Amino acid sequence: MTGRAPQPRTQLHRAAAGIIIAVLAVLVLAADQLSKYLALEHLPLEVNVPVLGDFLSFYLVKNPGAAFSFGAGATWIFTIALAVVACVIAWLAITRVRSRAWAVILGLLLGGVLGNLTDRLLREPGFAVGHVIDFINTPWMWFWMNSAIYNVADIFIVTMMIGVAVLVITGLGLDGVRERREDVPADSSLED
């Protein structure tokens, strides 16, 4: 007997959490870069290609900015932000994460971040100012107004940020321990 207390089923060894994060990040990065390669090889630039009528189409663009091409003149800022997020997730993976749920969400998020960071670092017009390849268009999501065109990495970034919010709201810590919520005592000043 080792004398260690058994871990709750939601907890992992740090190394296992790190492996989950790394494997999922590599899978998402590969899926993102493969889809962008296929889009660049097979889609015309800035021409709508219907896939499922108005529900889904492909529209290839090289995006210098963020969502809705916001900040197109400050591409390097997005590069720095993506690099910082990737480093924070890697640091958390190495030092803090022991929760299976956090490992999965952070791994998928890291893959999305690395997908767009790869574009920023390696695509035209140059290092750290590269344009992100976007090609998925779903106008119905934006009520047929000025729709955002996005990519596989963006899907993982947005959905996993929602996942992070859910884990925070439900009180699941990075270590896999659920935070106990204390009842808030009644404010005695209101009783006077």
List 54, 134, 175, 192, catalytic entry? 134
Token representation of residue 28: 């998402």
Q: Is 175 a catalytic residue?
A: no
Amino acid at the residue 167 = L
| Cα–Cα distance, 117 to 111 (Å, whole number) | 10
Does 134 qualify as catalytic in the annotation? yes
User: Which is catalytic among the residues 32, 54, 119, 154?
Assistant: 154
Give the 3-state secondary structure of the chain: CCCCCCCCCCECCHHHHHHHHHHHHHHHHHHHHHHHHHHHHHCCECCCEEEECCCEEEEEEEECCCHHHCCHHHHHHHHHHHHHHHHHHHHHHHHCCCEHHHHHHHHHHHHHHHHHHHHHHHCCCCCCCCCEEEEEECHHHHCCCCCCEECHHHHHHHHHHHHHHHHHHCCECCCCCECCCCCCCCCHHHHC
Which active-site residues does the annotation give?
Answer: 134, 154
